[in-house]
Amino acid sequence: MNGPLEDRTTETLGLLFDMHWPSRQFETARGIRRSPFHDRLKAAGAFMTEAAGWERPGFFGAPGCAPSVSYSYGRPSWFDATGAECRNTARNVTLFDHSCFIKFLCEGPDAVTVLNRVCANNIDVAVGRVVYTQWLNEMGGIVADVTVTRLSETAFMVVTIALSQRRDMAWLRRHIPEGARLSVQDVTSGLPMLALMGPKARALLSRVSPADLSDAAFPFGTSQEIDLGYARVRASRLTYVGELGWEIYMPTEFAAHVFEVLADAGRDLGLGMGGFFAINSLRMEKGYRHWGHDIGEEDTPLQAGLGFAVAFDKPGGFIGREALLRQRAAGVQDRRMVQLSLEVDGIPPHLYHNEPILRDGVIVGSVTTGAFGHRIGKSLGMGYVSCPGGVTADWLGAGTWEVEIAWRRYPVRVQFGPWYDPKGEPLR
């Protein structure tokens, strides 16, 4: 029997001479890693996509039917379905399967010291706080983009993306000093996760949990263990889509029960299922970065607009601090990430990756990722632009901006902040 790598290699070699369609899904080595919700999601009409071996919904068609897809450099066949999922997330409430997100449990008397050295942000916070942070190399480049939840005085949960599972674990273990009292375990398989997102998320969760979910008792950026149905789960008030919501972590044996309880309680609230194509659209409107596309080892938090997640003055410092201090001391950055919005009449073309960004007819950068923003009705992208004198708001505002797509140039608006809800009011 062939191994998955052998089967996948045969397919990828053949695809070198085929059309490289955006979002094209592999056909070999599929069905390897499935969340506990897989069969229920398929029954609800999920078209499954794959990442790091994980099967996860791309979008949802009609319940009980296997959606067919046709790829395109324009509007793909799932455009309308994804749009409906995005709009439902903004108006009602949507359930996303995030089980493929990787979870590391870090425990021991030295956990806070070791993690605070690895993390650019300060994770020595009160129990129940969730910290967004990056892990940096000595040059200040971003090697990981994670959240760290403080579970107790000596225990933390690190959450990262599926594609970084082995890489991030190796980085963390490599930076644990010899003799440090710290154990690190990958608990992903035993801790599936659902994300409940939308303005009606609190109303739905209140129906199935006695916990106080008010802003005062459960503010944004905090995590608690709560009862949900007959299960005990960890709920973290976070979002990757820019709406009010909670990430819900549960032991695997309670996963089906939690899913069914939420699905039953949300029927009259407009609860819908959402896939990762919708997530990409929603996070693009909010300007949320994705490691491996928008940020990586050659990008620093200051260039990526993530300086708010750097605690320069915390005790003990952090890996990459000296490089960031030198960069900060230089003043305005000559390379920075910006948000793009295509300003064209009719159906706009799509941005995907590496399209040139031009200011006054001169290429000054390129797109890192793109998607159509269904909440605001615009084709969006983000990318880095450079200017020897510094990338400032005045410099952005003084130029005429275009992006080149398939040898044609289109006008774009450019800014630092997100296009949707720049103040972050609904999620808070």
Residue spans of the domains in the chain: they are: 102-190, 332-428
pLDDT of amino acid 172:
98
The residues that bridge with 335 in the sheet, in sequence order, are 386
* pLDDT tens per residue across span 51-74: 999 999 999 998 877 788 999 988
* pLDDT tens per residue across span 194-203: 999 999 999 9
pLDDT mean over 144-167:
98
pLDDT mean over 8-25:
82
Sorting pLDDT into bands at 50, 70 and 90, what band is 100? Answer: very high
* Equal fold, 102-190 vs 332-428: no
Sorting pLDDT into bands at 50, 70 and 90, what band is 28? Answer: confident
Q: What is the mean pLDDT of the chain?
A: 95
pLDDT of amino acid 204:
98
* pLDDT tens per residue across span 181-198: 999 999 999 999 999 999
- CATH 3.30.450.20 corresponds to the domain 332-428: no
Sorting pLDDT into bands at 50, 70 and 90, what band is 1? Answer: low
Neighbours of 70 (CB within 10 A): 8
Neighbours of 394 (CB within 10 A): 8
Rounded (10°) angle between helices 276-286 and 79-91: 60
Question: Which is nearest to 343 in space by CA: 274, 400, 388, 420?
Answer: 400
pLDDT mean over 168-175:
98
At the topology level of CATH, where does 102-190 sit? Answer: Alpha-Beta Plaits (3.30.70)
